[in-house]
Structure 1
Amino acid sequence: MLQSFYLILCILGFVLPYSQFVPFLLEHGLDIKLFFEQLFANRISGFFGMDVAVSSLVLWTFVFWEGTRLKMRYLWVYVVCNLLVGVSFGLPLFLLIRQRQVEQQTD
């Protein structure tokens, strides 16, 4: 049940951010300067940009701490997923695989 919930969150965490990013790419290409200009265009968007940056650092710490404790492999994958999509994808993906690991260890 919990694994299904995490899987749904993974899908949403991938689809929803890219529903906003793909049109930007199609219109502007990979214009990093414009991306950051728009990300910090005002205080509200800057608030969300900073929130995501801090959340990403927290995620990376959690992934390496908890993943090492549970002897999970390929921990770098979750950081890459976070960098390519965001916390909205990297965190539920890590929690999904973590839950599988926990359930295997308790069987």
Structure 2
Amino acid sequence: MKIKNIYLVLCLLGIIIPYASFIPWMMENGLNVPLFLNQIASSPVASFGWLDVIVSEVALFVFIYSDSQKRKVQYWRLTIIGTLTVGVSLGLPLYLYLREISKNE
């Protein structure tokens, strides 16, 4: 299997796995932002996880912007949208996929 196809599979998993937990929560609680934020900070371990994700997202954004300018990766902005709407689990493999296909053009 080619690496670009592996990145595509990781994109799909990066959407399916996080949303498999989030969608049932949303169906039960709706768009209850105060409850969501309360549960994010409900324990030091939960806060640790979310703070780790935030730092990872910022690092990913810096990497994507810098690398996409050097390598002339098209559609890199989609990875920012993917990261903000799903997470690093989509943004990173999506960027790596776009980078791979830009090498082949």
More divergent stretch after superposition (35-44 vs 87-96): 35-44
Task: Provide the alpha-carbon RMSD of the alignment.
Answer: 1.0
Give, in angstroms, the shift of residue 74 of structure 1.
2.9
Distance 2:86 2:93 in 1: 12
Give, in angstroms, the shift of residue 49 of structure 1.
0.2
Match of 2:28 in 1: 27
1:89 and 2:90 equivalent? yes
SS of residue in 1 equivalent to 2:73:
coil
Match of 1:49 in 2: 50
Give, in angstroms, the shift of residue 76 of structure 1.
2.0
Distance 2:41 2:103 in 1: 39
Match of 2:78 in 1: 77
Distance 1:81 1:91 in 2: 9
Report how many aligned residue pairs link the two structures: 104
Give, in angstroms, the shift of residue 9 of structure 1.
0.7
Structure 1 runs of 4+ aligned residues shifted over 3 Å read none
Distance 2:11 2:76 in 1: 17
- Normalising by structure 2, we get a TM-score of 0.93
Distance 1:97 1:40 in 2: 34
Q: Which runs of 5+ in 2 are unaligned?
A: none
